Copies of this chain bind each other. A is one copy, B any other.
């Protein structure tokens, strides 16, 4: 697929991927894909990442049911970062929040900005 040929994977074979909520434009998470999981994402319309910690394919929602459906797909000027607008089922964060970015600086402390949507 020619689209994927524009992507510059790093020396680990990975590219950084931002998932953004298609309805609210909230940034949900930052993760990684390799060529195979990017192709699977584009083929199936569901976000499939590469887990650096577990060193394996990671279909988002496979265990939690919190799948992400692809709506739009962007690439940056250098080809080394991807942005997907997605429909998020449930929450993106394994800690139970809608977004992984649920902590915000308030003075010199982290403040949790929202309630968990599930335990």
Q: Measuring CB to CB, which residues of chain A are less than 8 angstroms from any residue of chain B?
A: 1-3, 6, 16, 18, 20, 24-27, 29-30, 72-78, 81, 83, 93-95, 97, 100-105, 108-110, 113
Contacts and interface: CB of A to CB of B under 8 A. Distances in A.
State how many copies of this chain the complex holds: 2
A95 B77 contact: yes
Contacts of A103: 74-76
A41 to B, nearest CB: 11
A18 B25 CA distance: 13
15 contacts: A3-B109, A3-B110, A16-B16, A18-B18, A18-B27, A18-B30, A25-B25, A29-B81, A72-B105, A74-B102, A76-B103, A77-B93, A77-B94, A77-B100, A81-B100
Given A3-B109, A16-B16, A110-B3, A73 B104 contact: yes
